[in-house]
């Protein structure tokens, strides 16, 4: 996998990088959460701006971005405006959705953006170009909070993301059985093997899918989402527990070679 370098971070090498979300409604909540999250020193911080009450007010958004950026120092910032259709909290038009991202990109204060695949090519392709022209890493995502689509459909969606020039394709699905979790891991491994130079993010949500959040280094998912105080999606693990779990897997993943050398 060819890593993506953002500030002091390489995404796509070693352990999955831990991303923690900011999900405050008000300036006070956002600042408070950002301070707490920054103290935990995660690899990436995601600001879910759809939670912010004033997200559609461009001046307020920029002022809030300045505060968040200052508090995070060198920690990469991922900005995400999730629509209600994909688990977000903010009703918006496509025009409003686009304007939020254009404002964030022009501010020069974000390192990554997350666009929804289902927004459609007419809005998505210009947004991708604008972000890339500004040196911002583009995540293109798709979420299904009801089910895990068939393997072929999930592969089609991820290949669509790659075709439209996403730096990091992302898929999150809801499992209704243990088999669904295995299906998601199979898709992850399939895409990782077929496109070894493309960092990808996948997850199966809620408690049943928890294994997918810790085993990314095995199957090929390069970022995992946890939480500090408040989760932004079902099944997110608290930061300390998440880091401990992926570290245990990382440290034991290659022990077979060590034992063989001892024989």
Which residues are catalytic, by number? 143, 170
The neighbour count for residue 184, using CB atoms within 10 Å, is 28
Nearest to 189 by CA among 154, 162, 231: 154
Alpha-carbon distance of 261 to 242, in angstroms, equals: 31
Alpha-carbon distance of 53 to 26, in angstroms, equals: 6
The three state secondary structure string of 52-80 is: CCCCCCHHHHHHHHHHHHHHHCCCCEEEE
Structure tokens at 250: 């990382």
What is the pairing mode between strands 168-173 and 201-204? Answer: parallel
Structure tokens at 23: 């999900």
């Amino acid at each position: 996998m060819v890593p993506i370098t953002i500030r002091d971070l390489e995404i796509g090498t070693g352990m999955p990088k831990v991303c923690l979300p900011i999900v405050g409604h008000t300036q006070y909540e956002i600042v408070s959460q950002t301070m707490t999250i920054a103290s935990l020193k995660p690899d990436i911080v995601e600001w879910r701006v759809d939670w912010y009450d004033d997200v559609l007010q461009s001046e307020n958004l920029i002022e809030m971005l300045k505060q968040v950026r200052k508090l995070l120092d060198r920690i990469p910032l991922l900005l995400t405006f999730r629509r209600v259709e994909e688990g977000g909290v903010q009703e918006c038009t496509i025009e409003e959705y686009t304007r939020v991202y254009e404002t964030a990109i022009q501010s020069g204060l974000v390192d990554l953006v997350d666009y929804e695949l289902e927004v459609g090519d007419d809005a998505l392709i210009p947004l991708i170009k604008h972000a890339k022209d500004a040196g911002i890493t583009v995540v293109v995502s798709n979420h299904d909070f009801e089910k895990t689509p068939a393997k072929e459909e999930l592969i089609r969606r991820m290949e669509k993301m790659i075709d439209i020039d996403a730096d990091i394709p992302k898929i999150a699905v809801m499992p209704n059985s243990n088999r669904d979790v295995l299906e998601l891991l199979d898709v992850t491994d399939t895409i990782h093997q077929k496109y070894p130079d493309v960092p990808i993010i996948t997850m199966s949500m809620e408690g049943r899918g928890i294994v997918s959040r810790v085993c990314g280094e095995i199957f090929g998912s390069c970022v995992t989402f946890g939480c500090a105080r408040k989760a932004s999606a079902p099944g997110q693990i608290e930061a300390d527990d998440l880091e401990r779990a992926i570290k245990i897997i990382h440290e034991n993943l290659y022990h077979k070679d060590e034992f063989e050398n001892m024989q």
